[in-house]
Structure 1
Amino acid sequence: MGDEPTDLWICPRCGARLVGRNMWHSCGTFTLEQLLSRSEPPVVELARRYVSMLCSLGDVQIIPQKTRLVCVARVRFAGLYPRRDSFLASFALHRWLASPRIVRTADYGPRWRGHFVLVRAPADLDEELRAWLQESHDVVGLHSGR
């Protein structure tokens, strides 16, 4: 695709792409349906739409894990945490966002600001969320921080 991440190590067991050889990661093979097995059916469809949104950002790898989904360009930059009737869309930025849509934040160090948005309905997967995810992909996801 031209802008694909280079010099990444691919885990031979699970296929995860990582910035360094043998980096710790949640090594396993799970499906989106397994991750969302305790969620209501409409949440599964919302999650599929969210994954499509993540895939539209550029060359990414979507990795469903046991308790979450992560989205990787060069590094993890976004994800999903399931709930029964919704999910939390997560993403990292180098800045804090001030929005009533942000239901939780996490400080991951001097350059990583985690943000969480509650997704309950298709309207929550809007252009504002997509713009935040695109910024996360472009600013955080494509840079290893090394």
Structure 2
Amino acid sequence: MTHDVDRYLAGKPPGAVELFRRFRAMVLAAGECEERVHRTEVAWADRRVFASAFIASGRLEVAIDLLRQVEHPALLQSFPTTRKVCTHRFTFTAADQLDADIEAWLVEAHDDVGPGTR
């Protein structure tokens, strides 16, 4: 899959690519998952997608699905996507924004949303 990711990242701004790679490493460290590389984004799933990311105008745009709402300085919006799941959209422009909270929420998303909810 790394080859597909490299193809997705080709030609994108170097700073945003670095942020993407850092975020991707955090997702992959959260636990075993499938990486789904599309033309416009990359998503990570177990049975259900729990996180996704794309690069737009030199910044990293991310979605993390959780069973609760959270707050963060980089949070753009959160909204319910099912009765249980709330999608959180973040924008990152600096590596220090990918902090311990984001890392913990990725583990939570992987464990609670990735397997699917009923």
TM norm structure 1: 0.71
8 A Cα contact 1:104 1:117, kept in partner: yes
Q: CA deviation at 1:68?
A: 1.0
Higher share of residues assigned helix: 2
Select 1:121's aligned residue among 94, 97, 112. Answer: 94
Residue 110 of structure 1 pairs with residue 83 of structure 2: yes
Q: Describe the SS at the equivalent of 1:141.
A: coil
Q: CA deviation at 1:140?
A: 0.6
Alpha-carbon distance in 1 for matches of 2:85, 2:71: 15
Residues paired across the two proteins, number: 117
Q: Could you tell me which residue of structure 2 aligns to residue 134 of structure 1?
A: 107
| CA offset digits 1:109-139 (Å, max 9, x no partner) | 2011000111111112211110111111111
Structure 2: which amino acid aligns with 1:145? T
Structure 2: which amino acid aligns with 1:47? F
Structure 2: which amino acid aligns with 1:98? E
Q: CA deviation at 1:38?
A: 5.1
Structure 1 vs Structure 2: percent identity of aligned residues? 25
Can you give the 5+ residue segments of structure 1 that lack an aligned partner in the other structure?
Answer: 1-14, 16-29
Select 1:69's aligned residue among 39, 42, 49. Answer: 42
Can you give the 5+ residue segments of structure 2 that lack an aligned partner in the other structure?
Answer: none
Moved more, 31-40 or 118-127: 31-40
State the superposition RMSD in angstroms.
2.0
Alpha-carbon distance in 1 for matches of 2:77, 2:42: 17
Greater RCO, CA 8 A, separation 6+? 2
Alpha-carbon distance in 1 for matches of 2:102, 2:71: 13
Larger Rg: 1
Alpha-carbon distance in 1 for matches of 2:70, 2:87: 9
8 A Cα contact 2:74 2:97, kept in partner: no
Q: CA deviation at 1:106?
A: 2.9
Q: Could you tell me which residue of structure 1 aligns to residue 72 of structure 2?
A: 99
Q: Could you tell me which residue of structure 1 aligns to residue 117 of structure 2?
A: 145
Structure 2: which amino acid aligns with 1:124? Q
Q: Could you tell me which residue of structure 2 aligns to residue 58 of structure 1?
A: 31
TM norm structure 2: 0.86
Q: CA deviation at 1:70?
A: 0.4
